[in-house]
Amino acid sequence: MRLPSVERGERISHRVLYAMIRLVSGRRAPDVIRTMKYHGAFFGDHMYVHDVLRGPSPWSVGERELFAAWVSKQNHCEF
C-alpha cells in the first residue's frame, strides 16, 4: 500500500516531474524517486549516487558500476 501523497506527489513540481518521466520513458516514475521527493527534508534533498559511484574509492568506477548492476539485479530492479 502506498500513501496517496507519495504516489501522486505532494507538490505540483513533483507531479510535473512524474508526468515528464512518464512522457519521456513511457513508465511511471520509479518508487525510489517518489520516496526521495516525499518529505525531502526528512529523506534528504539529494541522492548521492554520483558521489558513491564517482568519488574517491579503492575500487575503480567500473567495479562500482558492476556492484551497482549486481545489486539492482538481485533486487529485481530494471536499472
pLDDT in tens, 26-46: 998 888 788 878 877 776 656
13 and 32 housed in the same domain: yes
* Nine-digit cell string for 6: 507519495
State which residues form the domain around 24. 1-45
pTM value > 0.85: no
CA dist., res. 22 & res. 8, Å (int): 12
Number of compact structural domains in the chain: 2
Assign 3-state DSSP to the chain and report helix, strand, coil percentages, each to 5. 65, 0, 35
- Closest residue by Cα to residue 35 from 12, 10, 52, 72: 10
Contact 51, 19 (CB under 8 A): no
Residues of the chain short of pLDDT 50, as ranges, are: none
Residues 31, 7, single domain; the answer is yes
Say how far apart CA 49 and CA 75 lie, in whole Å. Answer: 17
